[in-house]
Amino acid sequence: MLIQTAFSSLLFAALCAAFNPSRFMAKPPIFSQYDYETRYFDVLLDHFTFVSDLTFKMKYLISTKFHVPDGPILFYTGNEGAIETFAENTGFMWEIAEELKAAVLFAEHRFYGSSLPFVNDSFKDPQHFGYLTAEQALADYASLVQYLKSSVKDFENSPVIAFGGSYGGMLSAWFRYKYPNLIAGAIAASAPIWLFPNMSNCAGFYDTTTRAFSTSGSTVCTKNVALVWDSIRTVAKQHSGHELLRLMFQLCDPLPDEQKLIDYLIDFLGTLAMVNYPYEASFIGTFPGEPVKYFCKGLSDAVHRDVDVDVVQRVATAVRSLTNYTKNQSCISLEGDLPGLDAKAWTLQTCLEMTTPMCSNGEGMFPSLEWDPVVFSQSCFDKFAVRPRLNWSAVEFWGKNIKTATNIVFSNGDLDPWSAFGVLTDDQAPGCNVIRIPSGAHHLDLRAKNELDPADVVDARQRELQHIKDWIDEWHAKPKNLPRNQMNVDVLYYSKLRNDAKFF
């Protein structure tokens, strides 16, 4: 059965929750496990026209604890959220900093966290949010690199290594594509750079999620989940069916439409596959180790297809066991943090240039889902008065022809749903390095080491570290960059902007 047309009107929530699952996203930590300074950099609002010289304050986190003169800068290209969350969950960078004698820097993406160009008006209309593009964000990062290298003597000849996971991994790869004069190499972890229209099979995300549940849970579990979609609709048709569903899932609010619950479950299952780490983690919500296995333990024996209430109850119990894993959530909100600014920013990006076609053929554990570009475009226009440039990313970010790219590690976990849109074979990027992690979830290799890490993740980190060392040596073997007295022209320019700008 094809998903109802109503799903298209909910596509924003589905895409946002899948790629940026904000309804489950952990809040930025109050106390950090790492030692860094929080700073702000005045960066141009528009890098590509001369219409305005307005600036805004971009947040970045920096630690020079282990840095020596001309030692490397490990630069995280911030993605769709407050930058502190990524700093806390990218322990690999912190752990190798001492050995590399490196500075560690996390830059916040414009329109996320507190890096809001127009503060509360940032999402007011296209005249404001039209500056939310990956190109502008990359130029922000390039400007910050140039500023630091020209104004801090110890950074003058420091090689910069970009890091990122998920959308941040896409950005780190593109950072190397577009600014090889500034970026010596990039670690692009779980980077679905080919998620755009006509680049990959739109069913890849859900197919890989089904495989992850089958591998980490059981095939019986996936078969039981596959039954729940029709069962929810059947229960909903009963007298007081929506109220029964609310009670079974312990929802916080009345359920007006069963489709809303179905969309939530689809997002939730995709999120579990993404964060199927071998130990407890609090990245996208707080979940136990091996959450897919945890979810499936109550769905490990067959159920009768005609017992719809039993099917739904089993799934509801499994969901509640995870949403209330910390014992501090008395009910499930289907809205979560979706009204928040970060969720809105990512929704906007999908309507501008980060369009993410996602569909399902109904052959795995998910229902059939259609993705209609015409309907999606109209939904964007109705909501934001903009239409997506569906094919622009294939031009701007090289499409699938990346054979001339160099010094990039593309790492992917085979059980990560987003690996379906990633670089998986050496021949796809012969100038780069492809690392497959058979037991890996979403950018597990960027996380801090843990005694429960599988051997293939440990090996991936070692290989990544060696590539980083090679890039650093290669950078230092080249002629020195532009003398500081020439680069200081921009430093003076930015200083003038800071003094003259009256907009902020």
Q: How far apart are CA 201 and CA 328, in angstroms?
A: 39
Long-range contacts (CB closer than 8 Å, 24 or more residues apart) made by 491-495? 491/147, 491/150, 491/151, 494/42, 494/55, 494/143, 494/147
Q: What are phi and psi of 77, to 5 degrees?
A: -85, 100
CB neighbour burial string for 180-208, b if at least 16 within 10 angstroms, e if fewer: eebbbbbbbbbbbbbbbbebbebbbbbbb
Nearest to 16 by CA among 90, 112, 108: 112
- SS3 at position 37: strand
Q: How far apart are CA 94 and CA 82, in angstroms?
A: 18
Cα-trace Rg, the chain: 23
Residue 106's identity, in one-letter code, is F
Do residues 161 and 73 touch, judged by C-beta distance below 8 A?
Answer: yes
231 given a catalytic annotation: no
Maximal CA-CA distance, the chain: 77
Catalytic residue among 442, 443, 453, 467: 442
Catalytic residue among 166, 200, 360, 379: 166
442 given a catalytic annotation: yes
Q: How far apart are CA 13 and CA 23, in angstroms?
A: 9
47 given a catalytic annotation: no
Catalytic residue among 308, 416, 445, 453: 416
Catalytic residues, by residue number, are 166, 416, 442
